[in-house]
A and B are shown apart, each in its own frame.
Chain A
């Protein structure tokens, strides 16, 4: 059932570039990344794209397909009509290095600004005891494959370069929530979430949740509860302390 598809792919280095048209074979069961690979092998050997696992597990092949952030490896060609022209561009929020590859170092900087897991000093490896129900909240956030599409789509930084310094993006606000909900984390993260990492910028439009390929409920389960914790805290620090002790 192979057919020829029309692709428009962003080509260029640094700030310069343009959409280039290709006609390329598509076979049964293929995904967009397969087609990009066929372009590399047959028409554009230096076409740059990141990828690794090809099974939606590593979060490398984030791109925008017809304007929507998607993983190239999980976007079936069968979701398009044969007559469609498929436009593939790099993620918009990050500077382009070449073709479909962006400079995502913003994300690694933000990751480093969030204080790490802080267990109590007196618990030794092997002594941790946690109930499944208590780890499940953080486990949901740890499903994150760091495709950075949530940060890419978040309008706080997508259209406002100037916010990048003060806003960690959904990915790393979720990381703060993950640590805050970890049964053994003793660090106080609420003030920093609000004041240093920009939780307050988020106005819960849920764009991040919609693009998450892992279907993590970023807004409902991480960002909103985190906002609530920050507010509670403002009223009564004892609530925070009580929560921490109670959760053990």
Chain B
């Protein structure tokens, strides 16, 4: 299997190995080959998801690139400036950044917790070379290569300390490096406590806690990139090129050696691979990519601020890489889309509502077998809701007096189904508590009892959502939803969206 998306790589751009063997169709029951393919047949997915997966695997690599990035190329023409920045540009910058981390962690298996320091280093270094703050205005076509090479060298220095470190120890040292970087940029403003450099004395390098402001927009060969759209396409082109190159690297001797080193460093060393040098190379490569994305981020923000390059960003980038699938080249794009896009989308209550009911339905249909059971539960819940609503409107008029917040077509429909008391606060609080109890009770029930108990529980969940959670949709609810979404995705695709599951010990 060769794929941009899959963890198992293609071997360069070379033609497939031997034409002599055609899969499964020729194989005879009982022959050596038929027996050898038993796992494959068992793992073959059925139904719609199977069709999608097989279709994806059959696509040649360039077609996959188009399927993945094509929508991004269209996006600027169908949206406004603000959305393009929030959903498009930031997603792309995160994806680019995550692509470098994917080499370090996903390919070479080095747990680098200082990775975003290189991102910050790139932004600051570009700012020092081209900003109103520093007074220099270097052109981007000169500044960017300088940044890329210097970040790679810093990566080399950090890598050298890791020469003999593995796993947990490497994580600690690199995390320390990140903290040291943040403290350094917070203080290197040429102030009283700052140290004086040889030859130049005290210099305001980073602007300290106020940040390095007025960073120049890219001036590439005299062409100034000033719009969001401009940076968007610059980043998109960079990602396309980097993905293509990574695809080639993955199937080359270096890519294979990185993956071998991840699998078993000792065996890799004994099988003629210079493990330490390969580790350094991975570190440098990742750092260079991070430095490059840092320049873009610095220019887009027209400033570099210490708080932007802290552990929070590190966690986001790791989430992207893991969600997309460790070691998968295409996965990081989808990972960035989910991790960056979902919280932004959830800011609006009608979007959040669609997601809430969508996830409920999806979970219901995925978790319950056979297929008619969730369908019965669903119909039962709908009927139950209308019945409760009908009774309530006859005997408890306050219970249906409220209105849906947010609205939308789904919201208007729900007004006739879910109970909406006019003063909700205390009732909704108790309902929230009852929902948790009901969810716990559900885990104790079996089979049809559980299906039966699900009906009021689902209705209760809808009640809690419409009366309590939806009001705080831009606050706590958004995070709860995001967490739930991640849990659901990780359950459906444990190795990440594009990841292939890894076997540790067999």
> Are A and B a genuine interacting pair, yes or no?
no
Q: Which residues of B contact A (CB under 8 A)?
A: none
Name A residues whose Cβ lies closer than 8 Å to a Cβ of B. none
